Amino acid sequence: MLENFSFRTIVEYLPLFGQGLVTTVWLSALSFLGALAVGIVLCAMNLQRGWLFRVPAKAYIDAVRATPLLAQLYFLYFGLPRLGLVLPELVVGILALSLNSGAYVAEIIRAGILSIARGQVEASVASGMTYVQRMRLVILPQAFKVTIPPLLGQAIVLVKDSALLSLISVAELTRAGQLLASDRFMPAEGFLTIAAFYLLLYYCLKGLAALSARWLGTAGARL
Amino acid sequence: MIWQQFVSLAGSYPLALRGLGMTVMLSVISLVLGTLIGFALGIVRTGGNRLMAGVIGAWVDLIRGTPFLVQIFLIFFILPEFGIELDAFTAGIIALTNLAACFICEIVAAGIRSVPTGQVEAALASGLSRLQRMRQVVLPQAMRIVLPPLVGQYVLLIKDSSVVSAIGLTDLTRVGWLVVQRVPNGLLVFFLVGVGYFIVCYPLILLARRLESRLGAAHGEVQL
């Protein structure tokens, strides 16, 4: 049993956990921005009529969705130096998370755009709007409402996925737990503490998702 | 140079096959167990017992709120402190089954809730027992909603099984990691690892898509 559970050691390591938590938060935030950028570009390519942009975008999305993030992470981590790109682990990690989540974000945005009733598009065409006007004034404002809750769901997935970066020795939250576990042979103290921190982040994002669903009036946002 | 690497890679194909076998075995065992437990939990969760539903809901939230890597570490390193000695394979199976059961529980619960209450009331009025009601009225209708996300969940499970390489199981990802120490071409090695996963996962993704579009078509018929 855990009769030797040492709260004192946890308190002693609290600065390390704090640093890990902060790193996890900002690297997740940065990766999420990257994922949005990747997702928007992929989605724009995917919605083109011609095959030239659509096919590569679809292939990329399928390839990302059918392979594990860990294999993608190792692909970049061991593969980029081969191309002469020697980047710090942290940068490789953010890149991997952005490229991975971007594929899912692209699908979320696409579903949002396709959820707009066809009549709306036809009406704006009939009103003589250009493609850009149609997107900016009719489709995107409505699609925005539908996409926010699932995007926050993707943010939750991203924060949890960022734990894998500890395997390429990025000093984030899980790494802090591993350090305590291996330095002091206290896995219970290390891993239970980081689990609690991740739960904290999870409930924050979940609360935000619930709030946004209420503000936007989109029902049925289940995370 | 490249040729040498190819020869060296070809030499490690028995290892790659073993890794793929390990990935498939882990996935299949935890997929079957996780589906059975997930259905049971989902049915209990939507049943009348508030306390049980609350306990299950809280557990599902704990599992959804923490990274899978942390769950594996907790199971592998902490269960021994309670006197349960585990090898890496058993720990991996427990972690994956638990994860699958929690997500499938939510999918099943959503499916059961989607069945109109009139159906349950009609079944009650016809004098069907609890078990008959579930088996002959509710579940067959819920399955239409459950099936597409269930298949999608299987894909996630197969991909998540790569994380158990962190506790030293020689699955497909671990094989890539081992090979890349000898053949320093990360692009090629992990491209091949990706192909291995793609072969297993992509048919399931296509199946999920087909089920989803069939569901959409069925819904359209009802609404029209």
**Exposed / middle / buried, residue A127 (Cβ in 10 Å: 0-12, 13-18, 19+):** exposed
Cα separation, B218 vs B210, in Å, equals 12
Domains of chain A: residue spans and CATH: 14-216 (1.10.3720.10)
pLDDT (mean) for B46-60: 91
Rounded to two decimals, the ipTM of the complex is 0.89
Please, what is the angle between helix B13-46 and helix B2-11, to 10°? 60
DSSP string, B20-48: HHHHHHHHHHHHHHHHHHHHHHHHHHHSS
Domain harbouring B40, CATH code: 1.10.3720.10
From the candidates A70, A76, A198, A202, which should be mutated to test the interface with B, based on the most B CB atoms within 10 A? A70
Task: Return the pLDDT at A2.
Answer: 67
**Cross-chain residue pair B201–A67, CB shorter than 8 Å:** yes
**Cross-chain residue pair A78–B162, CB shorter than 8 Å:** no
Q: Look-up: residue for tokens 């009609």?
A: B122
Cα separation, A140 vs A134, in Å, equals 8
Q: Tally the domains of chain B.
A: 1
What residue numbers bound the domain in which B170 lies? 2-223
Res B151 pLDDT > 80: yes
Render pLDDT for B75-130 as a digit per residue (tens, 0 to 9). Answer: 998 888 787 888 999 999 999 999 999 999 999 999 999 999 899 889 989 988 88
Q: Which residue did the predictor score with more confidence, B72 or A221? A: B72
Cα separation, A78 vs A134, in Å, equals 44
Across chain B, mean pLDDT equals 89
* Gap from B63 CA to chain A (nearest CA, Å): 9
Residue B184 three-state SS? coil
Cα separation, B14 vs A5, in Å, equals 44
> Which tokens hold the place of B140?
């067959």
Instruction: Write the DSSP symbol of residue B183.
Output: S
> Which tokens hold the place of B78?
């902490």
Residue of A nearest to B199 (CA): A66
pLDDT tens, chain A, 223 aa long = 566 777 888 888 889 999 999 999 999 999 999 999 999 999 999 988 888 999 999 999 999 999 999 999 999 999 998 888 889 999 999 999 999 999 999 999 999 888 888 888 889 989 999 888 888 888 888 888 889 989 999 999 999 999 999 999 899 999 999 998 888 888 888 899 999 999 999 999 999 988 888 888 755 444 4
Q: CA-CA distances (angstroms) from residue B149 to A83, B2, B85, B108? A: 39, 43, 35, 10
Task: Return the pLDDT at B153.
Answer: 94
Maximum Cα–Cα distance for chain A, whole Å? Answer: 74
Beta carbons within 8 Å of A179's beta carbon, 6+ residues apart: A13, A16, A190
Task: Return the pLDDT at A77.
Answer: 95
Cα separation, A174 vs B70, in Å, equals 7
Task: Return the pLDDT at B224.
Answer: 33
Res B215 pLDDT > 80: no
Residue A44 three-state SS? helix
Q: Which of B13, B171, B63 is nearest to A71 (CA)?
A: B171
Q: Which of B65, B165, B166 sits opposite A202 (nearest CB)?
A: B65
Residues of A in contact with B166 (CB under 8 A): 167
CB atoms within 10 A of CB A73: 25
Q: Which of B66, B70, B190 sits opposite A71 (nearest CB)?
A: B190
Q: Is the dihedral of CA B97, B69, B154, A77 positive or negative?
A: negative
Beta carbons within 8 Å of B200's beta carbon, 6+ residues apart: B20, B23, B24, B27, B158
Task: Return the pLDDT at A37.
Answer: 96
Res B49 pLDDT > 90: no
Cα separation, B117 vs B95, in Å, equals 35
Task: Return the pLDDT at B223.
Answer: 37
pLDDT above 70 covers what percent of chain B? 96
Residue of B nearest to A81 (CA): B186
Render pLDDT for B1-35 as a digit per residue (tens, 0 to 9). Answer: 677 777 778 778 888 889 999 999 999 999 999 99
